[in-house]
Amino acid sequence: NDVLMRLTKPTLFTNMPVTCEDRDLPGDLFSRLMKEDPSTIKGAEALMLGEMLTLPQNFGNIFLGETFSSYISVHNDSSQVVKDILVKADLQTSSQRLNLSASNNAVTELKPESCVDDVIHHEVKEIGTHILVCAVSYTTQAGEKLYFRKFFKFQVLKPLDVKTKFYNAETDEVFLEAQIQNITTSSMFMEKVSLEPSMMYSVAELNTVETEDEGTSTFGKMSYLQPMDTRQYLYCLKPKPEFAEKAGIIKGVTVIGKLDIVWKTNLGERGRLQTSQLQRMAPGYGDVRLSLEMIPDTVNLEEPFDITCKITNCSERTMDLVLEMCNTCSIHWCGVSGRQLGKVSPSASLALPLKLLSSVQGLQSISGLRLTDTFLKRTYEYDDVAQVCVVCPYMSRES
């Protein structure tokens, strides 16, 4: 006889307290009965949660990322001794068949009313239908070799819904927003949600608020995720120094990294999921990319200020560049327009300090830059390169 039981954590026993006022017909009957109930908490009999634990009454739900544990027992119901008992447990998924048996050695003999026990563990990594195949072979006293199998089918469900969005900064930084939703019917304690970057990037988590003593989570002290609730996690990725020079010329699909999510459910039942490698389509910068390396947050009206631009040759040919600075209705460039920047090799870049001023208050766009490649006579115009806040120093003094 082959018996299979799933090993799971128990749950806290719950009561259904019934109370009434002393002047009602039952009087203190309900109160006395609850005090005599061994499952209630002494001094808090009206609380639904009790002191006892309840063993699972059914197979329950199995979620992706959890560890499936099962107890297998082969019992000799006959009156004869059997020999060479071999118990084998395989798990059949939609893509593979896994051997979960702790030992492949046969038991020499099994006496009547005795049993052979085994406990198997498997971290579930696929969703969908799973079939646990338990096969038992043995030899009778007459030397006859017998064999039988039992099948146990169960479904593996998806515990979390993960969505990701990428945002490209004006520099080479990439911001990743991960939306994680609990789609189970029970609460989750989110133990860890981290991003493991690829070899090209370093990552900074933006999910804490820095205080004087230590960082505090943006989700508060209790990191619980209720059923159907969603949380948003934010990460900033920067190219490592050895890849920083080439960050501006990366084209096509690039690998960012993968999310590592660890949670706990009922009485510490642990689960873990790792996403596949997250990919993003690198933004197209054309033949020449112009980005800002340094710009002040706030500047004074009609006072010159400095910025530093970075020009990167994203093409596969050498360029001979000329810079033109064209004034707009609010932005006025200081310096000589039409100056030669010289030759820039493929994948190379150069830093360019510039000076300008604004004649209009408020949030102003840095525009009016134009690059010309004298080799091919091609012109590249750059508008809305960045924005700067322009304030009037006289108005702030008067206020």
Percent of the chain exceeding pLDDT 90 equals 35
Confidence class for position 261, pLDDT limits 50, 70, 90: very high
Supply the pLDDT for residue 399. Answer: 45
User: Where is pLDDT greater, at 257 or 53?
Assistant: 257
For 27, the token pair is 């009087």
Supply the pLDDT for residue 397. Answer: 46
Span of 61-75, 169-183, 237-251, 271-285 with lowest mean pLDDT: 237-251
User: Where is pLDDT greater, at 286 or 69?
Assistant: 69
Supply the pLDDT for residue 48. Answer: 65
Q: How far is CA 254 from the centre of its chain?
A: 18
Coil, helix or strand for 96?
coil
Confidence class for position 41, pLDDT limits 50, 70, 90: low
Confidence class for position 398, pLDDT limits 50, 70, 90: very low
pLDDT digits (tens, 9 = 90+) for 101-160: 877 788 888 898 888 888 889 999 999 999 999 999 999 888 889 999 988 888 999 999
Q: Let me know how many helices (H) and strands (E) the chain has, helices first.
A: 3, 33
Confidence class for position 2, pLDDT limits 50, 70, 90: low
Coil, helix or strand for 350?
strand
For 287, the token pair is 């033949």
Q: Which pTM value belongs to this model?
A: 0.68
- Do 296 and 391 touch, CB atoms closer than 8 A? no
- Compute the mean pLDDT over every residue in the chain, rounded to the nearest whole number: 84
Supply the pLDDT for residue 383. Answer: 87
Q: What integer is the mean pLDDT of 255-270?
A: 88
* Sign for the pseudo-dihedral over CA of 354, 360, 366, 371: negative
Q: What integer is the mean pLDDT of 280-284?
A: 72
**250, 252, 253, 257 alpha-carbon torsion, rounded to 10°:** 10
- Do 61 and 33 touch, CB atoms closer than 8 A? no
Span of 45-49, 299-303, 315-319, 377-381 with lowest mean pLDDT: 45-49
Supply the pLDDT for residue 177. Answer: 94
Compute the distance between CA of residue 114 and CA of residue 132 in angstroms, rounded to an integer. Answer: 23
Compute the distance between CA of residue 218 and CA of residue 46 in angstroms, rounded to an integer. Answer: 35
Q: What integer is the mean pLDDT of 305-322?
A: 90
Q: What integer is the mean pLDDT of 190-209?
A: 90
Whether the pLDDT of residue 248 is over 60: the answer is no
Supply the pLDDT for residue 224. Answer: 86
Q: What integer is the mean pLDDT of 372-383?
A: 90
Confidence class for position 26, pLDDT limits 50, 70, 90: low
Q: What integer is the mean pLDDT of 28-53?
A: 70
The angle formed by the CA atoms of residues 358, 362 and 367, to the nearest 5 degrees, is 50
Instruction: Give residue 372's identity as a one-letter amino acid code.
Output: T
For 194, the token pair is 């981290």
Compute the distance between CA of residue 137 and CA of residue 146 in angstroms, rounded to an integer. Answer: 6
Determine phi and psi for 236, rounding to 5 degrees: -115, 125
How would you classify residue 327: left for phi > 0, otherwise alpha for psi between -120 and 50, otherwise beta? beta
Confidence class for position 4, pLDDT limits 50, 70, 90: low
Supply the pLDDT for residue 354. Answer: 94
